[in-house]
Amino acid sequence: MNDFEFFYPIKNYFGKGSAKTALKKELPKYGKNILLAYGGGSIKHNGIYEELIELIEAAGKTITEFSGIMSNPTYAKVQEGAALARKHQIDFILAVGGGSVSDCCKAVSAQAKLDTDLYEYEYTEHKVPKQGIPMGVIVTAAGTGSEQNAGAVITHEEKNWKGALWGTAASFAVLDSYYTKTLPMKQVLSGAFDTLSHCMETYLGAPREANLSDQMNESVMRSVIVNIRKLKLDPENMEARSELMWASAMAENGILKIGKQTDFQCHMIEHQLGAYTDCNHGCGLAVIHPELYRHLAPVAPKQYARLAVEVFGVDSLGKSELETALLGIDQLAAFIKEIGLPTTLKEMDITEDKILRAVADTTVLMPGCAKKLTPDEIFEILLAVKG
């Protein structure tokens, strides 16, 4: 177990009807002006919007709406939200949606309290924002775990950059799996795969000796796999939905990252793919993961072999660590195919080599827990999954 500092002051309200409990307890703590943020408006068709408006008005608050937050939220949208928040002297942001809405609002919260441009502040001045408008997140699409931390993945269109900005963590999160029921199944599955990806990227970091964080992580990964299968068989299985929703939170609330160094290389590559193609995040991860791991496993076969045995049930008897590791990656690939996520970029309508080259050339990788890939290696991986 490496040394660490850990602090997790986000209050979670989990279960059916938890939005009502949460807003009754939480809204009185904040000022009058609420920014109600959401995406394309699906909450207006499934009853969630009306329910929340009623709860916010019952708390005696004034609502400013901030709508149209897109998947892969843009930096321009962040600036729009920040301007709106300043103009209406917003006291509290209520983000209603999946990771895109939550990420956008975390950046809006920080930008609204900052005179400097947020991107420049973080990437040129190398500073971290110290304050923001308080916010809460009501999750309507699980997987990103965005409601559990302060990181915000934003697409800066002018810079062809998709990456993490440091925003404001929510004070509370509402996790009601019934709020995910009208979401298209493909989005539910790609979200759940995002959770599995967070777990794997954490698990495959350093150190690679057995430790409690990794052992709990194995339990989370096994649970995610089992419950994706259950939900695929029966989309009405609320128990599976609720297990996946809490797994999504656990993968990103920091508990599994305790004592671990991570590089999140698959996410870094996928982010650039998203910056150039606006693709679905979970689908992009699904395509990249197996091939990326075939490149990385030879460098750190022990931990990849452990993943194979503990999570994918590979029998290691008589096999080398690398052989075991590669069988595990085959299992991962088979699982992705089984649940109907794409296995090639072609299935996602990404076909141009020059885009893949640009993705490879602009992906910024950290030194890397197994090894740091070169742009040529990233390009090679992307070509291999082009289909």
At residue 9's C-alpha, the angle toward residues 153 and 124, to 5°, is 35
Q: Report in angstroms how near the CB of residue 242 gets to a second copy at its nearest.
A: 5
Nearer to a second copy, 171 or 187 (CB): 171
Distance between CA atoms of residues 77 and 150, nearest Å: 18
Minimum CB–partner distance for residue 103 and a second copy (Å):
22
Residue 211 or 262 having the CB closest to a second copy: 211
CB of 348 to a second copy, least distance (A): 30
127 contributes a contact to a second copy by CB under 8 A: no
Applying CB under 8 A, among 131, 215, 351, 374 the residue interacting with a second copy is 215
User: Taking contact as CB under 8 A, which single stretch among the options 114-122, 185-193, 207-215, 262-270 is the one that binds a second copy?
Assistant: 207-215
Nearest distance from C-beta of residue 333 to a second copy, angstroms: 24
Tell me which DSSP letter residue 206 carries: B
| Contact mark string toward a second copy, 12..51, x via CB under 8 A | xxxxx-x--x------------------------------
Residue 261 forms beta bridges with which residues? 206
**251 with 220: CB under 8 angstroms?**
yes
Q: Are 175 and 117 in contact (CB under 8 A)?
A: no
Residues in 255-284 that interact with a second copy by CB under 8 A = 255, 258-259
Question: What kind and span of H or E run contains 225?
Answer: helix 212-233
Q: Tell the smallest beta-carbon distance from residue 190 to a second copy (Å).
A: 20
Q: How far is CA 84 from CA 31, 88, 126, 225, 304, in A?
A: 16, 6, 26, 41, 47
- The one-letter amino acid code at 239 reads E
Whole-angstrom distance, CA of residue 183 vs CA of residue 180: 6
DSSP letter at 60 equals T
60: left (phi over 0), alpha (psi -120 to 50) or beta: left
How many of the chain's residues bind a second copy (CB under 8 A)? Answer: 37
Site string for a second copy, 220-259 (x = CB under 8 A): x-xx---------------x--xx--xx--x----x--xx
CB 135 within 8 A of CB 95: yes
Find the part of the chain contacting a second copy (CB under 8 A) among 81-89, 195-203, 213-221, 350-358.
213-221
Per CB under 8 A, contacts with a second copy among 301-320 are: none
**Residue (15 or 40) nearer to a second copy, CB:** 15
Among 81, 19, 69, CA closest to 40: 69
Q: Which residues in this chain contact a second copy in the complex, by CB under 8 A?
A: 1-16, 18, 21, 209, 211-212, 215-216, 218-220, 222-223, 239, 242-243, 246-247, 250, 255, 258-259
